[in-house]
Amino acid sequence: MNKIVDAQVSGAPLPQWPAPPGARVLFLTESRTATERQVLERWIETTRPKETSAEAVSFLGLPSTADELQAFGNHLAPHLTDGSVLLAPLRIAWLPREQGGERAARLSDLIMLRDPRRPREAEQKRVVQVEPERCRVVAGQPASIAQLSERAKQAGDADAGDAHAFAEFVSRQATLALERAEYRLIGRRYKLPRLVREQIVASRRFRDGVAEVARKLKRSDASVTKEALVYLHELRTAHSPFAIDMMMQLARSLFSRGYGTQIDYDQAQIERTRMALERAPGIILPSHKSNLDSAVTSVAFADNRLATPTTFGGINMAFWPMGTVARKAGRVFIRRDVRNNPVYKFVLREYLGYLVEKRFSLEWYIEGGRSRTGKLLPPKLGLLTYLVSAYREGRVDDLMLMPISIAYDQLHEVSEFAAEAQGGKKKAENLAWFVRFFRAQRSPFGRIYFRVAEPVSMREMLGPPDGGKSEGDEETLATQKVAFEVSWRINDVTPITGTSLVALVLLAQRGRALTLEQTREELDDYLTSATRRRLPLAPSARLPDIEATRRILDALAQHQVVSVHKGGLQTVFSIGTDQHMAAAFYRNTIVHFFVNAAIAELALLKAAEQPFEEREAAFWDEALRLRDILKFEFFFKDKNEFRASLDAELKLQSPDWRETLARGRESTLALLKGFRPLSAHSVLRSFFEAYVVVADTLAVVDPGIVDEKKLLVDCAAVGRQYMLQKRIQSAESVSKHLFQTGLQLARNQKLLEATDDVAGRRRAFAASLGDVMRRIDTIEALTHERAREQTLV
């Protein structure tokens, strides 16, 4: 056993004797085998100071079952009379072999059904003799009986006067102390919450909360406690560094075949993230466009040696065997709809509050589910509301919300999203689904981009904690404020990819094919605008020559998103047959960067048609009206910031735009023709065409009968009719997702209510959208006119 001591001295620092010379020490040991006990005893014998007699040192094994806890309490009881006795936790940590500078379990360990961090005793004996550096003594922070008794009182647990309850408290504290010590040895990525259920249930806060819920529901405390314990068990996670290593291997293998092993990072953003996570617990909030996102985030945090967050996901992903392994790696599965379950909401609130109070970082998708359109979805407030509450109650000094954008050059899932947009059903997740998903990643899809925005400090957003005095509407507004700030920042760092730019350009052609040179010319306008505005460009969007454009087109053609015709005088490119939804997904990932400019173009046209003295006021009125119509599609800043943004956009195009607008329609048309890019038709046509379909369908529906599910079906039928009649031009407009947003807009404008004047207001709504479409057609006509003029030149 001396090899262990020698090896540890030459490697990591050997733990020091936990007490002053001569003081009484009770070692609380966690050992599974005789070998582990022998190593611990040898360490104690070697480390014990000469001034400390053998009689002053005793041992007590930590319990792992209820029966062992009873025996533990019985053996602990004689020591409770002396508050100076020091309790010192000890355990053994077994490390994997070092490979490439890291000690992590390998896929071969899984195949051989062995966990190098929990070796069988025969393997332990071999390691002690042959690889002693893999066997480490771990010593938790010691505490005296008196200190633990005081700590128990402050936590609301029983003090040393209740031997059994105090023994349970001591056991938990010793285990947590050992966990913290082991994290320092094996790395922060393995830091996961332990004994959460036990700690929560033992707290006075939980007991008081149960009593309050029981009172409101007019139930007994016992029945609410019983139900709450079921939910706590459902939220459970297990602690297994082996499972974390295996999940990391699986995560990397999941995307590495299609995207390569290296994720694209901005290292300055990563370092800023690291510093923020050192200041306060982090709330990791990635965008969600793919089922690969979780794997990408896990690998990104491991690559950059950031602490692994506790990840919350929908319980639909808890299927066997992935759910079992994921729980052991720190994933928490939660129910989707808990609106009518006050006990579950109470438990989830306490669970989240406890984790941030203990400074654990958390992760979930602020959008809730995957975006099927490519745009960032409106934030779901549920979990964030609970954390705002925990912060305001003072359970934590601050929370650092980390807005993250995960972008892909291409995604296999776009075909699934396109099918759902046309009325298809979402496929249930299970093992067979996972196997299909894994196999689908074999084709080359480009690269993955991981971007982290400036952290959002809850303290800076909401001010210092106020003791939880805010509630109701005030708390909701506070949560919305934080959530929308996170969403804006995610959008701001989302990289513009070459794929998204090509999709934006080709979709605007409405079926017309472009040559390679024409495609490049169209792209140049957007690239010039992006560079001038300092928008984030992914490496794939930095197109140094025309061959780089060809490579993007070829990559899209490989997945049939782009159709290539080579049989004529020139090779031409267009959106592939039935691929408009897929292309729209890529376009929509960046369309938010160009929405304000598109609104400004349409507002200029509207204002130019007004009398001279009303033109500028008409411009701002129309811009704000369009902002209101599109508020369910895009994240707009407040009205003052929005106005400033539009003014800045227009001044980039023409510093004297106000004077030009004042001169009337012809001058304004000439102004618009000079815009680079001119984008209203490219950016907004599909959204307004979908709204026109919704408005026209509503206009002929009986005002007294509104069946929204039937309305969606009717909208799909009308949309297909309009496509056949060429009354709408964009195939991606006939989308269930856009129709749903259109109905949300109609509801917001009270067009789904059975009032006396609703029929007339519906017709007026349809007419106003028709006027917007007229101006979108005018913008498109200007682009064609400009193209003809350039061809003649």
Give the pLDDT confidence of 416-433 residue by residue, as tens digits: 999 999 888 888 888 888
Q: Give the tens place of pLDDT for each residue, 705-749.
A: 778 899 999 999 999 999 999 999 999 999 999 999 999 999 999
Q: Count CB atoms within 10 A of the CB of residue 122.
A: 10
Position 11 scores a pLDDT of 45
CA angle 464–465–468, rounded 5-degree value: 150
- Which of 688, 710, 684 minimizes the C-alpha distance to 697? 710
DSSP, collapsed to helix, strand or coil, labels residue 533 as coil
pTM of the model: 0.89
| Rounded Cα gap, residues 209 and 224, in angstroms | 10
CA 226 to each of CA 43, 211, 230, 233, 335: distance values in angstroms, whole numbers, following the listed order: 44, 12, 7, 11, 18
The arithmetic mean of pLDDT across residues 354-382, rounded, is 94
Secondary-structure percent of the chain, ordered helix, strand, coil, rounded to 5: 60, 10, 30
Q: Count CB atoms within 10 A of the CB of residue 306.
A: 19
Position 698 scores a pLDDT of 94
- Which of 290, 473, 481 minimizes the C-alpha distance to 384? 481
The arithmetic mean of pLDDT across residues 336-341, rounded, is 87
The arithmetic mean of pLDDT across residues 643-651, rounded, is 95
The residue type found at 749 is Q
Cβ atoms 713, 739 nearer than 8 A: no
Give the pLDDT band (50/70/90) at residue 4: low
Cβ atoms 319, 430 nearer than 8 A: yes
Position 470 scores a pLDDT of 58
The arithmetic mean of pLDDT across residues 643-657, rounded, is 95
- Determine if the peptide bond prior to 116 is cis (ω within 30°): no
189: tokens are: 């990525």
Q: Give the tens place of pLDDT for each residue, 163-195.
A: 888 999 999 999 999 988 998 888 877 877 778
Average pLDDT, whole number, for the chain? Answer: 91
Q: Is the pLDDT confidence value at 588 over 80?
A: yes
Give the pLDDT band (50/70/90) at residue 600: very high
Say how many Å lie between the first and final Cα of the chain, rounded.
Answer: 88
CA 397 to each of CA 346, 347, 391, 459, 660: distance values in angstroms, whole numbers, following the listed order: 22, 22, 7, 8, 53
Picking from 471-475, 490-494, 627-631, 724-728, which range would have the lowest pLDDT averaged per residue?
471-475
- What is the DSSP code (8-state) at residue 54? G
* Residue corresponding to tokens 């709809």: 337
| % pLDDT > 70, the chain | 97
Q: Is the pLDDT confidence value at 230 over 60?
A: yes
Q: Is the pLDDT confidence value at 12 over 90?
A: no
The arithmetic mean of pLDDT across residues 751-772, rounded, is 92
Q: Is the pLDDT confidence value at 13 over 50?
A: yes
The arithmetic mean of pLDDT across residues 49-68, rounded, is 91
Distance of CA 131 to the CA centre of its chain: 41
Q: Is the pLDDT confidence value at 160 over 60?
A: no
Position 328 scores a pLDDT of 84
Cβ atoms 777, 604 nearer than 8 A: no
Q: Give the tens place of pLDDT for each residue, 483-511.
A: 999 999 999 999 999 999 999 999 999 88
Position 3 scores a pLDDT of 56
Q: Which residue has the higher pLDDT, 159 or 640?
A: 640
Position 468 scores a pLDDT of 66
| Rounded Cα gap, residues 781 and 784, in angstroms | 5
Q: Is the pLDDT confidence value at 466 over 70?
A: yes
Position 472 scores a pLDDT of 66
- Which of 777, 688, 775, 696 minimizes the C-alpha distance to 735? 688
Contacts of 666 (CB under 8 A, 6+ apart): none
| Rounded Cα gap, residues 489 and 669, in angstroms | 34
- What is the DSSP code (8-state) at residue 555? H
Position 249 scores a pLDDT of 87
Position 6 scores a pLDDT of 53
Position 781 scores a pLDDT of 93
Q: Count CB atoms within 10 A of the CB of residue 121.
A: 12
| Rounded Cα gap, residues 500 and 588, in angstroms | 8
| % pLDDT > 90, the chain | 75
Q: Give the tens place of pLDDT for each residue, 93-102.
A: 999 999 888 8
Q: For the chain, give the number of residues.
A: 793
Cβ atoms 56, 22 nearer than 8 A: yes
DSSP, collapsed to helix, strand or coil, labels residue 285 as strand
Q: Is the pLDDT confidence value at 10 over 50?
A: no
Q: Give the tens place of pLDDT for each residue, 133-154.
A: 999 999 999 999 999 999 888 8
Position 9 scores a pLDDT of 37
**Alpha helix locations (H) across 516-638?**
516-532, 546-558, 580-588, 595-608, 615-629
The arithmetic mean of pLDDT across residues 323-335, rounded, is 87
- What is the DSSP code (8-state) at residue 434? H
Position 482 scores a pLDDT of 95
> Strands 143-144, 331-334: parallel, antiparallel or unpaired by DSSP?
unpaired
**What phi, psi does 680 have (nearest 5°)?**
-55, -40
Position 186 scores a pLDDT of 87
Q: Find the Cα–Cα–Cα–Cα dihedral 114, 120, 122, 128, rounded to 10°.
A: 90
What is the secondary structure of 663-680 as a DSSP string?
A: T-HHHHHHHHHT-SS--H
422: tokens are: 């046309």
Position 511 scores a pLDDT of 85
Q: Count CB atoms within 10 A of the CB of residue 152.
A: 21
| Rounded Cα gap, residues 352 and 355, in angstroms | 5
Position 475 scores a pLDDT of 80
- Which of 183, 166, 403, 414 minimizes the C-alpha distance to 297? 403
Cβ atoms 351, 342 nearer than 8 A: no
Q: Is the pLDDT confidence value at 110 over 80?
A: no
The arithmetic mean of pLDDT across residues 775-785, rounded, is 94
| Rounded Cα gap, residues 764 and 758, in angstroms | 10
DSSP, collapsed to helix, strand or coil, labels residue 28 as strand
Cα radius of gyration rounded to whole Å, the chain: 31
